[in-house]
Amino acid sequence: MTFLHEGLEQVEDETALSWQERALCAQTDPEAFFPEKGGSTREAKKVCIGCEVKAECLEYALAHDERFGIWGGLSERERRKLKKRAV
């Protein structure tokens, strides 16, 4: 039984992450989404604007406390502000 349960969790995890396959960032240069400190986030955010899974991406970043990069069109600082407002 435990084995079956673990298998179901794995399937659920894979289904939950299927949004990543549709993400526009998966088709572009990943370095744009992880700029060096003080670097521009403009190009990455332009890609996010037209992405169909932008909301799922942001939700994932917030749920997993992603501290680096552009996720769902927001920088680390913007996500921190969003989390503070939600509390």
According to the 3-state scheme, what is the secondary structure of the chain?
CHHHHHHHHHHHHHHHCCHHHHCHHHHCCHHHHCCCCCCCCHHHHHHHHCCCCHHHHHHHHHHCCCCCCCECCECHHHHHHHHHHHC
pLDDT tens track for 11-65: 445 556 689 999 999 999 889 999 988 899 999 999 999 999 999 999 999 999 9
To the question of whether residue 48 is assigned a binding role by annotation, the answer is yes
- Whole-prediction pTM value? 0.77
Is 76 annotated in some ligand binding site? no
The response to whether 43 counts as a known ligand-binding position is no
Residue 54 sits in which domain range? Answer: 2-86
Question: Structural domain tally of the chain?
Answer: 1
- pLDDT, residue 65, reads 93
